[in-house]
Amino acid sequence: MSRNDEIARQFEAFADLLDAKGVDYKPRAYRRAAENIREYPQAVEGLAQEGEDAVGEIDGVGDAIASKVVEYVDTGHIEELEALREEYPLDMAAITSVEGVGPKTAGTLYEELGIETLDDLESAAEAGDIQTVKGFGAKTEQNILDGIDFAREAHERQLLGDARPNGERVVEYLDTVDAIASVELAGSLRRWRATIGDVDVLVGSDDAERVVAAFADWPEADSVIEAGDTKASLRADGVRIDLRVVVPEEFGAALQYFTGSKAHNVAVRNRAIERDLKVNEYGIFDVAGVEDDDQRAGERIGGETEASVYEPLEMDWVPPELRENRGEIEAAVEGDLPDLVETSDIRGDLHTHTSWSDGRATIVEMIEGAAAFGHDYLAITDHATGPGMVGGVGLDDEQLRDQLAEIRAAADEAGIDVFAGVEANVAADGQVSVADDLLSDLDLVVASPHAALDGDGTERLIAAAKHPAVDIVGHPTGRYLNRRPGLDVDVSRLATVAADHGTALEINADPARLDLAGSAVKTAIEVGATIAIDTDAHSPAGFDSLRYGVHTGRRGWAEPVDVLNAWNVDDVRSFLH
Ligand code: DGT
Ligand code: CA
Ligand code: CA
Ligand code: ZN
């Protein structure tokens, strides 16, 4: 994948900000340049390395833009663009997603009313402030207000943990319709991306009309957005669900196509082209010597199952979580795909809370819950005091000593192995918030950042990973999906240190976190780090989040051997020492 798209986006952002400032002509030139950069058949990055003159060869790219392209490729940013961003610090994407609000309007509203976010825009419209601005009337203000709810929904991607149950229920429902031969989730939901734009459901059936009708009748649907011959969309619980119906013979090809990602599919199609084959949503076709450009032209050689699409390409079937064009094509060709961890491989949970801190269940209830879930072992890791622990949630060293005694007592009665632990804080300077002698009396120490979650956290987390008592770095970036991005972390460096010091890095399975992310997990495993997949459960129901963590691990190519809590209790014990 070339970076043309990324470079183009810089100039689109540039154009928006110039519009916001009220500059004439230039924005149009920048947008045109962006479009040509995006469509350019070669890597513009390569041209930039040759110099400005080479970049100037692109249509619509003059000297000024060419020098900025070179600047961007060389330094990773464009100074003039950064200055504009400081001058207009607005969430342009969010604000302009409101119908009728373009960059120019956004600029005016920032200058006149200081509006930076969708929330600011909403408050200003509700307060009647917008109609006081020159050029805006009461009607415009009302339109903005109407557009905001919709924009918010469209702009914010839904959490996997919210979308997945909905998707599964619609699949379960469709499974009862007897005209349906097969039904599967597709799209980002099947790939278990952390956030979901919309839910895609694919059905194989010879009676599309009946399937569409049944779908539109789903009792949980809030509204039907559209219903066609073979496609329909509805809205349920704030999420859009797209249905496509194909004939059973084409189900595998359609499933492959609609699972994506786009980047994976492009790579698959290119591999097909190299072999005189054609892959599309209808099947895989031998097109040697075929002129006809009809989608189904050529000799059909597969498409009923996904495997029948990959097989003629001389590659293994690729698990959906890996389909991001991050090396899975090459691995599938080499027969070298990872043997991915499964939820059933997980034998215990190493980061959980009780009512001693902010949990809602007792130590005994958590132990019994873990046993009922099927775990062989459980670590109790309540919060220690420290920055970010508001309202007396965290335990001081004395309280932790008292709790330790209670955990030991409960462990004696428990049917599973219990580790007495703590979730210590990693302060901004990398200090761990619990006394060393106490830490060494505990079986397991999770150390996590909870405050000061912006900027680069690499050194901070490396300090924690090096701490002799720390076993697991918990939710390393501190991100909250859709709410805050968390720390910037050089995962390769952190994971190298963690591997050297026998410290595991966590995938926190809480669907609001999923931290580390799949791509970071892949990097961490590549440098030899061990991963712990923990739910951070605050009640026995919290154990159910495990699968979101496991599938995030699969997106990071994790095998059971990479995952600490897929090991038996003796191996975990020796890792902890
Ligand atoms: P999302 O919904 O934003 O979380 O992400 P996806 O991956 O579910 O994307 P979506 O719903 O737009 O489309 C589902 C899949 O269908 C996508 O992963 C790949 C495939 N697809 C959709 N449109 C195109 C297209 O124009 N070209 C290609 N190659 N694939 C497409
Ligand atoms: Ca989707
Ligand atoms: Ca879709
Ligand atoms: Zn935590």
- Equal CATH topology for 4-155 and 343-576: no
The per-residue pLDDT for 391 is: 62
Q: Which stretches does DSSP call E strand in 303-371?
A: 348-349
Residue whose CA is at the smallest distance from ligand 1 atom 9: 187
The per-residue pLDDT for 1 is: 40
* Measured distance CA(450)–CA(296) in Å, rounded: 55
CATH number, domain 343-576 = 3.20.20.140
Q: How many angstroms does the Cα of residue 326 sit away from the middle of ligand 2? A: 19
Residue whose CA is at the smallest distance from ligand 1 atom 14: 187
The per-residue pLDDT for 382 is: 97
Q: How many angstroms does the Cα of residue 124 sit away from the middle of ligand 1? A: 36
Verify whether ligand 1 is closer than 6 Å to residue 159 (CB atom). no
Please report which residue ranges of 114-186 form alpha helices under DSSP H. Answer: 118-126, 138-155, 160-174
Verify whether ligand 1 is closer than 6 Å to residue 192 (CB atom). no
Average pLDDT per consecutive 10 residues, the chain (577 residues; last block may be shorter):
81 96 94 91 91 94 96 94 94 86 95 93 94 93 85 78 96 96 97 97 98 96 93 91 98 98 97 97 96 93 98 98 98 98 98 96 98 98 82 87 98 97 95 93 96 94 97 97 90 98 98 98 98 98 98 98 98 96
Q: Which ligand is nearest to the CA of 475?
A: 4
Burial letters for 501-519: b for 16+ Cβ neighbours within 10 Å, e otherwise? Answer: eebbbbbbbbbbbbbbbbe
Verify whether ligand 1 is closer than 6 Å to residue 324 (CB atom). no
Picking from 279, 260, 122, the residue whose alpha carbon sits closest to that of residue 198 is 260
Q: How many angstroms does the Cα of residue 321 sit away from the middle of ligand 2? A: 14
CB 549 within 8 A of CB 362: no
Among all chains, which residue has been given the structure tokens 């909403």?
122
Verify whether ligand 1 is closer than 6 Å to residue 262 (CB atom). yes
CATH number, domain 4-155 = 1.10.150.110
Residue whose CA is at the smallest distance from ligand 1 atom 10: 187
Residue whose CA is at the smallest distance from ligand 1 atom 30: 262
Mention the CATH class of domain 158-246: alpha beta
Q: Which ligand is nearest to the CA of 383?
A: 4
* Measured distance CA(371)–CA(320) in Å, rounded: 31
Q: How many angstroms does the Cα of residue 189 sit away from the middle of ligand 2? A: 7
The per-residue pLDDT for 97 is: 81
Q: How many angstroms does the Cα of residue 268 sit away from the middle of ligand 1? A: 15
CB 426 within 8 A of CB 432: yes
Q: Which of 265, 266, 271, 555 to mutate to test the pocket of ligand 1 (most atoms within 8 A of CB)?
A: 265
Q: How many angstroms does the Cα of residue 506 sit away from the middle of ligand 1? A: 30
- Architecture of the CATH domain 251-334: 2-Layer Sandwich (3.30)
Verify whether ligand 1 is closer than 6 Å to residue 200 (CB atom). yes
Per-domain residue ranges of the chain: 4-155, 158-246, 251-334, 343-576
Q: What is the largest CA-CA distance in the chain?
A: 80
Q: How many angstroms does the Cα of residue 77 sit away from the middle of ligand 4? A: 34
Task: Kindly report whether the global pTM for this prediction surpasses the value 0.85.
Answer: no
